[in-house]
Amino acid sequence: MNGFSLSKEQLDAATSSKSHLLIIAPPGCGKTEVLAHRAAHQIGHLERNQRVLALTFTKRARSNLEERLRSVLGHTKARRQIVVHNLHGFATQVVLGHGRTIGLDMNELVLPKTSTMRRAMEAAGRGSAMYEAERVLSEIKRAPLSDAEVLTAIRQRVPTQAIELAERVERSRQETNQLHYDDLLRHAQRLLRIPAIARLYQAHFNAVLIDEFQDLSMQQLDLALLSCTSRRTFAGDPLQGIYSWAGAAPAEVEAEVQRTCGQPIRLRESYRSSPKVLDVVNAVSEQVYPGSSLVSAQSQLWPGGGYSAALVLSDGAAEAEVLRRVARSIMERAPEASIGIITRAGWRRKNIDSAFAEETAFLVRRWDLAIDDPGIVALIQSTVATLPHGSSIGNARLAVLKSLDPADVDARELVDDAFDTLEQGEAASAKVAVKSIKSFDPKQSVGPGVHLLNAHTGKGQQFDWVFAIGLEEGHLPGRRNSAGDALAEEQRVLLVMLSRARHGLVVTGTRMTDGAYGPYQATPSRWWSGLGLQHSSTASDIEAHLDADLTAAAPKT
């Protein structure tokens, strides 16, 4: 058991006697800790050979919850009585276990990677129709249709170049026995709608915990509901719903969950953010949903009340130079600090990535590179250490893949991507190649150093310092998302970015930005003025704060 003491509102949520419970947990309110204690509470209701199922939305969220479960329950109890999957992993397990029931050829079934769909589109036709074809296939496959029914649904659409491309891709997929990510969910839903199969899971799982419910599609919600009928706990925050482009239906899901669970328990105390950070977060959350402000649970513990500011730089190159200078200042004064440099889109980070590429004074991790993933790096290093000297990189790849759970499609993809990077080097063997990998602590989802990432990747994470980059029209909000529901979601993306910060938060904007036809004058984001931040064009005030306050230890959650 860990030494973390739950607050009254957290304890009420973790130990609620309700069989079906909805917990509204804004960022920093201890959601993962509450879920871990909720799992411990639900263990008391298990019968012989039953377990608790915990479903998360991403691989990183799964790792975070597993770590917290081990701290609350201990390694042995957590392993024996709790099963943690992300949704694609759970769907894959269902398909691999029962696919023959719906006529799938399991002998040569090819599991997907994120790049599988895009490569299939490029092979079938390329062109501007690809994106619409992908959207159509994704939309159709959000229902529990058979392969034949998918083809019928495509043919029922008004014929266009995109529809023709979608049909070619789907026919090729079926002929080669290849699954795409949407097929995993679709087939798992079909299988769990077979009463005999559903009863197997419902008998095995006496309780299910669903993390980040607002990011679920209705199909994913159906999978969660079908897996367990006895005791259901949903946790998340509708103001953090930023995945509609991937099929998430936050309003519909929340309405369905409330029909099952009734009125939610709401957490309102923030244990993550300093008062000054929380002021900025609250300024945005109140615009998104009035009355949603959080209070700092430990305001007296933050040196100087934390820090928040805005930097206005001339262009992307100047911005990158200042960020590197400030990052060095932070790391010199607080070597254990974590710094998240977060953009809405990857293209906006181009200058910044280049500026930090050769940094050696501290660790720099790019979250879009599998070779920088701490868990994947640790797995590769430990496996390669057992191989004979002279083993090739290709043999090492096979050995690492063999060690993985076949249902862990996300990890398999990361391993493949990491080895693709290793093979681009000139190392003569796997052991030599592994020596070039940066070493991160696999026990820390966020360790000391600089972390370069986008908003969606960083969801659920926290950093001592956050630099929210590029508050300019065209980036945040993006050009394609400047009206209606899409604009509302962009504002939630901003909220996600800001709420990653613990001690310090700095937002940036530039006067000039790069476009397809060269530099042009940037327009500040429509949300810039509502943040209530003091503006600066230099890093000197941040460094002054560091000299005054950062030597004191900020509280840890």
Q: Which two tokens stand for residue 345?
A: 């889109």
pLDDT the model gives residue 530: 93
* Residue 154 half-sphere exposure toward CB, CA atoms < 13 A: 26
Q: Give the residue-averaged pLDDT of 102-123.
A: 89
pLDDT in tens, 480-532: 888 899 999 999 999 999 999 999 999 999 999 887 677 889 999 999 999 98
Distance, in Å, from the CA atom of 508 to the CA atom of 537, rounded to the nearest integer, reads 10
Angle at 461 between CA 553 and CA 524, to 5 degrees: 95
Q: Which residue has the tokens 């790391």?
A: 331
Res. 551 pLDDT band, cuts 50 70 90: low
Strands 364-366 and 449-454 turn out to be parallel
pLDDT the model gives residue 516: 64
Instruction: Provide φ and ψ at 288, rounded to 5°.
Output: -75, -45
pLDDT the model gives residue 2: 45
Determine the 3-state secondary structure of 529 from DSSP. helix
pLDDT the model gives residue 60: 83
Q: Is the pLDDT of residue 432 over 70?
A: yes
Distance, in Å, from the CA atom of 213 to the CA atom of 223, rounded to the nearest integer, reads 12
At 12, which helix (H) or strand (E)? helix 8-14
CB–CB of 307/504 below 8 Å?
yes
| CB-neighbour burial class of residue 303 (10 A; exposed 0-12, middle 13-18, buried 19+) | middle
Distance, in Å, from the CA atom of 440 to the CA atom of 423, rounded to the nearest integer, reads 20
Q: Give the residue-averaged pLDDT of 76-99.
A: 94
Average pLDDT, the chain: 91
CB–CB of 463/367 below 8 Å?
no
When mean pLDDT is compared across 357-366, 452-461, 464-473, 511-520, the lowest value belongs to 511-520
| CB-neighbour burial class of residue 394 (10 A; exposed 0-12, middle 13-18, buried 19+) | exposed
Q: Which two tokens stand for residue 129?
A: 């129709």
Sheet strands side by side (includes 364-366)? 364-366, 449-454, 338-343, 463-468, 501-510, 307-313, 535-536
Residue bearing the bigger pLDDT, 81 or 539 = 81
pLDDT the model gives residue 543: 82
Q: Is the pLDDT of residue 5 over 80?
A: yes
Q: Give the residue-averaged pLDDT of 239-254.
A: 91
pTM: 0.90
Q: Give the residue-averaged pLDDT of 461-485.
A: 93
pLDDT in tens, 325-373: 999 999 999 999 999 999 999 999 999 999 999 899 999 999 999 999 9
pLDDT in tens, 153-212: 999 999 999 999 999 999 999 999 999 999 999 999 999 999 999 999 999 999 999 999
Res. 460 pLDDT band, cuts 50 70 90: confident
3-state SS of 382-451 is HHHCCCCCCCCHHHHHHHHHHHCCCCCHHHHHHHHHHHHHHHCCCCCCHHHHHCCCCCCCCCCCCCCEEE
Residue 158 gets which letter from DSSP?
P
Distance, in Å, from the CA atom of 322 to the CA atom of 313, rounded to the nearest integer, reads 9
Q: Which two tokens stand for residue 233?
A: 């706990």
Q: Is the peptide bond before 477 cis (omega within 30 degrees of 0)?
A: yes
Determine the 3-state secondary structure of 157 from DSSP. coil
pLDDT the model gives residue 555: 47
pLDDT the model gives residue 552: 52
Residue 475 gets which letter from DSSP?
B
pLDDT the model gives residue 1: 38
* Nearest residue to 464 (alpha-carbon basis) of 447, 481, 452: 447
Strands 307-313 and 501-510 turn out to be parallel
Q: Give the residue-averaged pLDDT of 95-106.
A: 96
Distances from the Cα of 392 to the Cα of 77, 430, 435, angstroms: 39, 5, 14
Distance of CA 349 to the CA centre of its chain: 18
Q: Is the pLDDT of residue 283 over 90?
A: yes
Cα four-point dihedral sign 347, 339, 509, 293: positive
